[in-house]
Structure formats: structure tokens, C-alpha cells
Chains A and B, each alone.
Chain A
């Protein structure tokens, strides 16, 4: 299992921050997932070995955190918030719009592997609702038209 140099530098820098190696687990998993796309068996085995854990211990942690996934998903994960502040300003309609526009259900991925859609809990954009995150980028004060433009921008980014 090979990670990028950037990952290795970050990992080497992070581990000595803690008195116990295991503490680096959660951020390490997230950075590994960002590189590989999901937490594959190979990634889990590698991280378990590096942090002196069993694979089961690592899987146990993965299943707790909602951002961590052991299943592949689209290059761009469209995470639409439908929690209270977003809901009363049309967050559910934005979610439905994304599902229809991309032709997938919740946690589904488009056939070209470009987009996934996910309904998420509060992402901390309440005052700028409705909001969504595409991977780590926030998109706020959304309307269906604005969401279309956002999706189109990502599609363009992916096609050379």
C-alpha cells in the first residue's frame, strides 16, 4: 500500500503529537480516504499495522464516524444538509433536486463515477442555509438553479 508523499509527511508529523500512537487514527483514516476514495481492505490493513492496532479495532472506529466509508463513492460527494435550519429554508428540495438531476438515490453514485449524493446532518452553515458540501467545499444560500451551476462546475472540472 503506497500513499502520496504529502500523506507520509503529514503522518510522520502527526504521530509524535500524541503520547499514544493510536490517537492519530481518526485524522489518518480521513486523509487516507481522501487519497484512495474510500477505506479499502488494503488501507485498513496498512493503517492498522502502522498504529499497532488490529484491523478489527480500525473497522470498529470507522463504523462510528459518518464521514468514513468502506464503500467506493463518486469523485465528488454532494452532501446536502436537511437539518432544521436548512429544512425550513428548502434543504429537502435541494436534496431532491440533486437526486433527480443526477439520477441517483441517497448515498447513490452516478454511473460515470463522478457524483454521489448524500443527505447529511448539520454541517455548520445554518445562517447561510440551505447549504451543501461537495467534498470539503461549502456551497451556501442554495437554490435549485445555483445547485445546478455548482454541479456543472464540478462536471467541467472533471472533464479535461
Chain B
């Protein structure tokens, strides 16, 4: 009887140890499942917004990037349980990580090719830069708030996105040495679009800017520069709220 008890005791101990060691794997697996579920939600939302986005679905590589990048690695521990909810989260210093749906749309609107060069102004947590790094070879990202820049660089390194070029500093003048860019994302816009950034956009390039306060993106501005360097903007409502005077 004693031996049986002994055996059970050790089995339980081994079980607990195994569980402890595998918990990481289990958690990762759970996060992966959540990530996939999130992408499904985003896909469904895009279908309802297609009139505004002028497209039926997001590009598959963008969705793949969302399925791959571990968003939970880019948020604070306290926010991890919410990492795969389709909502913005606080990252400290009065800044937020955008709603994944908005990240998806913004990335998609840049229409990137693998060989493109992209600049991000406002690194924040580094999540958007990681998504971009999944899609293109050269990503340059600038953050003015020093502790955030440091944290983002660590996040990117830890998650294997060490090819992303990070820099701490003012984004107004862009990244002159690496210019021109095929795509620019300005996540932290001041009172106007900085003229130097428009200059650093290649002919045929696209710039995307979310407008609104933290936690509340009101609309997106897509700036395009055509082959003749003519600038136009498109103001895009990320939700399907049409038409204004029509039936519901």
C-alpha cells in the first residue's frame, strides 16, 4: 500500500514538473489559436467595410503577418490577457497599441511588395514594425519617447525581428539617409503632415496616417504621390457607415 502511495506521489510530482515545463508551450499554442481567431474576426469585419476600403478582402500576406506576429510580446504583462482582443491597449507613457483591425487595414493600404522600403514614425511598442518586417525587407522605425523606443527595440529583438532599423528621435524630418520610401506609416501625427515626410515618399509611394485620439481612431488618411509627384489624399472611414442619408 505504501509503495502504491509512493508511486502516486512521484507520478503527481513528475506530472506537475512536466506541466510547469510545458506550460510555456501550451500558452504559446493558446496564443497562436487566439491569434488565428482574431484574424478570422478581422476578415469578417473587412467584408462589412469593403465599400469604404474599395476591396473585398485584405491581402493574404498581411493576414499571414497578423497570424505570425505575437502581439502578446509587445504589450505589458498586465495587458497580456487582452492581447488578442480586437481592441487598442495601453503601452504606458500615454501611448497605445492600435486595434489589430486598424493595424491590418493600415498595413494593407500601403500595398507593399517584398522589396519595398518602409518608414514608420512612432514605433510605440514595435508591433506594427514587426508586422511590416514580415512583409518587406527594409523597415525603418522612429520613436521620440525614449523609454518606449528602448522597450520596442527589445521587443523586436526578442521576437526575432532584429532586421528592423530602430532609432530614437524626432520623426518630423523622417530618415533622410534611408529615403526615399515606398511606404510611410505615421502613427504619431502632430498638427499637420510634415512636409519632409512627403518629400521622402517615392513617386508611386503611399503614406498612411490614423487621425484621432489615443484609443479612438476616427479615420485614416492615405496620401499618395503619383508618378508626376502629384499629391492626393483619401480619407477613409474604417467602418461601414454608408450612406449618410440612406436607409439602414
Q: Is chain B found bound to chain A in the same assembly?
A: no
| A positions within 8 Å CB-CB of B | none
| B positions within 8 Å CB-CB of A | none
